[in-house]
């Protein structure tokens, strides 16, 4: 499986510009031979909390779903749609949608762990479901940004059968060291592939996103790395499931777990 991560610059509150930019990059990913294209977190309007409203939130995800369905069906690729701000009834959510090659939405996930440090919990409601899905026969799962700090949530993904974990994010530059270490740790401890896709550009006023998008194998090795250059770019990596099986057969972490203790 060839995965192409889109490290995209997200323009704050500029929804039309962001949709146009996302389409350009998805088409570039398809031209590069992607089986799966992946967008970052909150790519449609940026990480807005205090002044989020209907202009920036997608009511029931209608626009985002139609956008992903159209491009996935036309280009015959799978798209992990990062996440967008959605409004469902009277509540707002940070929601990820996944479209398959046929242009069907096969998964949607509401971020379960909200970043209270930045006030995300004051404006958004938290999801309460673990979500997994299958792309081209490969069991996959998704968590969003801050959730990489919760090892229990990633472990539940691994125990549910996930072999490729997608982590769309808008992670800021001051904590880039945490971003890199945590994503590699989640890959190593769960013996899974991690595809961590961050935004770049201005995250909030006077603060930059870190870039540093990465693809990591079950041993923690970097298959692809955008590096410290926080500019828009594609990174590409090939997922070989035989590597995951070999890792788990060689080091039997899951067999050695003490489920009687924890």
Q: What is the structure's pLDDT at 46? A: 86
Q: Is the pLDDT of residue 131 over 90?
A: yes
Of 172, 169, 224, 170, the residue nearest 193 (C-alpha): 224
Res. 56 pLDDT band, cuts 50 70 90? confident
In this model, does residue 204 exceed pLDDT 80? no
Q: What share of the chain has pLDDT > 90, as a percent? A: 88
List pLDDT tens digits, range 11-29: 988 999 999 999 999 999 9
**Model confidence at 227: pLDDT above 80:** yes
The pTM (predicted TM-score) of the whole model is 0.97
Q: How many CA atoms lie within 13 A of 105 on its CB side?
A: 17
Asked if the model's pLDDT at residue 201 lies above 80, the reply is yes
CATH number for the domain formed by residue range(s) 2-250 = 3.60.110.10
Phi-psi region of 86 (alpha: psi -120 to 50; beta: other; left: phi over 0): beta
Q: In the prediction, which pLDDT does 6 show?
A: 98
**DSSP codes of every residue in the chain:** -EEEEEE-B--TT-HHHHHHHHHHHHHHHHHTT-SEEE--TTTTT-S--TT--TTTSEETTHHHHHHHHHHHHHHT-EEE---EEEEETTEEEEEEEEE-TTS-EEEEEE-SS--GGGTHHHHPPPP----EEEETTEEEEE--GGGGG-HHHHHHHHHTT-SEEEEEE--BGGGHHHHHHHHHHHHHHHT-EEEEEE-BSEEETTEEB----EEE-TTS-EEEE-TT--S-EEEEEE--HHHHHHHHHHS-TTTT--TTT-
pLDDT of amino acid 156: 98
More confident residue, 55 or 125: 125
pLDDT, average across residues 93-108: 98
Name the burial class of residue 231, with classes exposed (0-12), middle (13-18) and buried (19+) by CB atoms within 10 angstroms of its CB. Answer: exposed
Question: Is the Cβ–Cβ distance between 3 and 237 less than 8 Å?
Answer: yes
**pLDDT value for 51:** 65
What is the tens place of the pLDDT at every residue in 26-55?
Answer: 999 999 999 999 999 999 988 876 666 667
CA distance 259 to 97: 33
- Please identify every residue annotated as catalytic: 41, 111, 145
Which of 171, 185, 182 lies closest to 219, judged by CA?
185
Q: What is the predicted pLDDT for the residue at 47?
A: 81
pLDDT-based confidence at residue 93 (cuts at 50, 70, 90)? very high
pLDDT for res 54: 62
Mean pLDDT, residues 64-89: 97
* The pLDDT value given to residue 13: 87
**Residue 237 confidence (pLDDT) above 80:** yes
Burial class of residue 53 in the structure, from the number of CB atoms within 10 Å of its CB (0-12 exposed, 13-18 middle, 19+ buried): exposed
Mean pLDDT across 142-147 = 98
Nearest to 30 by CA among 75, 68, 74, 70: 75
pLDDT of residue 32: 98
The domains of the chain are located at 2-250
d(CA 237, CA 214): 9
Mean pLDDT of the chain: 95
């Amino acid at each position: 499986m060839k995965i192409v991560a889109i490290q995209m610059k997200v323009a704050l509150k500029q929804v039309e510009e962001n949709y146009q930019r996302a389409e350009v990059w998805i088409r570039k990913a398809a031209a590069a031979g992607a089986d799966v294209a992946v967008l970052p977190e909150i790519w449609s309007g940026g990480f807005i909390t205090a002044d989020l409203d209907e202009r920036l939130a997608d009511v029931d995800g209608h626009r985002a779903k139609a956008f992903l369905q159209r491009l996935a069906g036309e280009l015959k690729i799978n798209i992990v749609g990062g996440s967008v701000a959605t409004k469902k009834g009277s509540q707002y959510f940070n929601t990820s949608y996944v479209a398959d090659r046929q242009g069907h939405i096969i998964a949607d996930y509401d971020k379960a762990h909200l970043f209270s440090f930045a006030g995300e919990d004051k404006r958004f409601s938290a999801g309460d479901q673990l979500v997994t899905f299958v792309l081209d026969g490969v069991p996959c799962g998704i968590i969003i940004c801050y959730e990489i700090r919760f090892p229990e949530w990633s472990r539940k993904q691994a125990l549910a059968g996930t072999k490729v974990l997608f982590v769309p994010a808008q992670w800021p530059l001051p904590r880039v060291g945490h971003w890199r270490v945590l994503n590699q740790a989640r890959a190593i401890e769960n013996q899974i592939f991690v595809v961590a896709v961050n935004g770049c550009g201005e995250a909030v006023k006077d603060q930059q996103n870190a870039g540093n998008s990465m693809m990591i194998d079950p041993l923690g090795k970097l298959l692809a790395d955008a590096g410290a250059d926080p500019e828009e770019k594609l990174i590409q990596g090939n997922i070989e499931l035989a590597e995951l099986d070999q890792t788990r057969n060689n080091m039997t972490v899951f067999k050695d777990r003490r489920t009687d203790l924890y």
